[in-house]
């Protein structure tokens, strides 16, 4: 945060900017200074972690909301143009991203509404008319929920889409499989390798140069448990 404060313009007339500065000053983080650990106020690490984990769970639970796919168009807007509720979610998933005019990142929820788990395999199906409305390209990327990292695999394959490789069905649709082993008959390009384990997984859909007019009425596909 010291680095961020030293490289960010904070408005002396902006109420939120000044509240942020006031919150960090007792922690020894002040713009234009070098961070001095000896001047940091003591904090209760246990309570701090509990609050952080509670907030993370509450915010991530929004991903299962059917309307969430359209909330993403409100993230990563210029300063002062993002509502606080979206700013909080943005800080949980990652503070850096492109505005909706450049890209949107809807999460893929499950058909039964339950969080995705590496204990199971999944399949995402789209008909030709349901493909993501992206003018540049789109892709589905698989992550480890807790760490937010790609899931290691021998093939070093972490996404399926127009940039990472894919194979459409004869009717123009596509089936994307998230599985430990590639299912028989499934094209290699449409397989997202998974390591079996008791941990959460997430699939993020990325649309670059999205058609926002179509996106308003388009819904991301659901992941269906396959095993």
Summarised one tens digit per residue, pLDDT across range 51-81 is: 988 998 888 777 666 666 666 777 777 777 7
Q: What percent of the chain has pLDDT over 70?
A: 96
Output the pLDDT for position 99: 82
* Numbered ranges of CATH 2.60.120.600 in the chain: 57-225
Quote the pTM value. 0.73
For residue 171, what are its two tokens? 């009717």
Mean pLDDT, the chain, integer: 89
Q: Is CATH 2.60.120.600 the classification given to domain 57-225?
A: yes
Q: pLDDT (tens digit, 9 = 90+) per residue, 196-214?
A: 999 999 999 999 999 999 9
Closest alpha carbon to 142 in 98, 201, 96: 201
The alpha-helical segments, DSSP class H, found in the chain are: 2-6, 15-24, 45-60, 68-71, 84-93, 212-215
Residues 211, 215, 219, 220, CA torsion sign: positive
Q: pLDDT (tens digit, 9 = 90+) per residue, 1-55?
A: 899 899 988 999 999 899 999 999 988 899 998 988 887 777 888 998 999 889 9
Output the pLDDT for position 134: 96
Q: pLDDT (tens digit, 9 = 90+) per residue, 212-224?
A: 999 988 989 999 9
The count of C-alpha atoms lying within 13 angstroms of the C-alpha of 78, restricted to the half-sphere facing its C-beta, is 1
For residue 111, what are its two tokens? 């058909």
Closest alpha carbon to 142 in 74, 102, 100, 191: 191
What is each CA distance from 19 to 11, 23, 50, 96, in whole angstroms? 11, 6, 23, 21
Closest alpha carbon to 104 in 206, 222, 203, 220: 206
């Amino acid at each position: 945060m010291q680095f961020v404060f030293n490289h960010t313009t904070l408005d002396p007339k902006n109420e939120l900017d000044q509240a942020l500065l006031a919150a960090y000053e007792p922690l020894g983080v002040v713009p234009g200074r070098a961070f001095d650990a000896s001047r940091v106020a003591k904090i209760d690490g246990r309570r701090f972690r509990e609050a952080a984990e509670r907030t993370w769970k509450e915010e991530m639970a929004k991903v299962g909301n059917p309307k969430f796919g359209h909330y993403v168009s409100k993230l990563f807007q210029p300063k002062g143009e993002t509502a606080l509720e979206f700013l909080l979610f943005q800080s949980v998933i990652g503070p850096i991203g492109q505005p909706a005019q450049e890209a949107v990142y809807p999460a893929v929820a499950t058909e039964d509404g339950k969080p995705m788990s590496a204990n199971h395999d999944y399949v995402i199906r789209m008909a030709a008319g349901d493909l993501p409305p992206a003018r540049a390209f789109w892709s589905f990327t698989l992550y480890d929920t807790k760490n937010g990292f790609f899931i290691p695999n021998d093939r070093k394959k972490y996404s399926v889409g127009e940039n990472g490789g894919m194979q459409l069905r004869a009717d123009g649709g596509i089936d994307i499989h998230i599985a430990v082993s590639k299912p028989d008959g499934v094209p290699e390009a449409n397989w997202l390798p998974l390591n079996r384990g008791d941990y959460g997984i997430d699939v993020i859909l990325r649309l670059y140069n999205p058609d926002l007019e179509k996106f308003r009425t388009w819904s991301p596909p659901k992941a269906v448990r396959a095993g």
